[in-house]
Amino acid sequence: MSANVAIPSDMVEAIRDARHLCVLTGAGISAESGVPTFRDAHTGLWSQYRPQDLATADAFLRDPELVWRWYHWRQNLIAKAEPNPAHLALARLEAMVPRLTLITQNVDGLHQRAGSTEVTEFHGNIFVNRCFIEGLEIECDKDTAVPTCPACGGLARPGVVWFGETIPEVALDTALTAARDCDFFLSIGTSSLVYPAAGLADLAREAGAVVAEINSQTTDLACSYNFAIQAQAGVALPALVNSLLGHRAAL
């Protein structure tokens, strides 16, 4: 993969002129931090399971110990990860444009650790635990194979959004409003397979925004974007920031 990439000047100008930039990120932006992408998350130990067979309430009730083992494995892996140049460039970009709404499908908290201040966690956060029954956020013993709620003694669950569960209302409202209001929508490191997150780009386009994608592979949606940059996010985003800075200072 090339160590640098040229961002089209008309894309740089469109972002420079944007009143409101909306950014959607997926697992690809954390890949260079060593966090397996959602679908790759099953390398090795988890290769025999499909994500949809673990990230659902039914799967959890069927075998809470197995599902917790998967989340504990991911928590330990993510806790050792550091934000990469892509996360850092996005945090820097926030101060360079009039308004940036960051919506992430990721549950790893790396955008916040990179310094992004307003992060909408569309699918929750892997380090938050909730009572399975009440849904309230709880503190529970992280070393227990199947943690329980200290208030009701019921099952504790990871504070993420599983398949078949609705998106938290505030996060959904923030994302829908930003997609409809923005004049530039940038999708980074997502396979755009999971809804309703995958529908945000269409909303932005229908509302008249310029829509761009950064992905290390080509995606089925690439042809529908105004710009499709095939590059690693950790290369493309610093290049975008440098272009916006007018090549004044390398990141």
Q: Check binding of 127 to ligand BV8 (CB under 6 A).
A: no
Of 37 and 129, CB closest to ligand BV8: 37
Sign of CA dihedral 164, 169, 170, 172: positive
The two three-digit tokens of residue 119, written as one number: 């992060």
- Residue 153: CB partners within 8 Å, gap ≥ 6? none
Of 90, 106, 87, 96, nearest to 197 (Cα)?
106
- Shortest separation between residue 238's beta carbon and ligand BV8, angstroms: 12
Burial class (CB in 10 A: 0-12, 13-18, 19+), 239: buried
Write out the binding residues for ligand BV8, residues 213-232 only, by CB under 6 A: 214-217, 219, 232
Judged by CB under 6 A, the residue of 18, 27, 103, 110 near ligand BV8 is 27
Binding region for ligand BV8 (CB under 6 A) out of 9-17, 140-148, 177-185, 186-194: 186-194
Which residue, 31 or 138, is less far from ligand BV8 as judged by CB? 31
Asked if residue 161 binds ligand BV8 (CB under 6 A), the reply is yes
Instruction: In whole angstroms, give the CA distance from residue 16 to residue 176.
Output: 23
**Residue 48 found at the interface with ligand BV8 (CB under 6 A):** no
Nearest alpha carbon to residue 121 among 145, 137, 142, 105: 105
Site string for ligand BV8, 70-109 (x = CB under 6 A): -----------------------------------x-x--
Q: Please, what is the minimum distance in Å from the beta carbon of residue 232 to ligand BV8?
A: 4
Exposure on the CB side of residue 61, measured as CA atoms within 13 A: 6
| Interacting residue ranges for ligand BV8, rule: CB under 6 A | 26-28, 31-32, 37-39, 55, 105, 107, 123, 160-166, 189-191, 193-197, 214-217, 219, 232-233
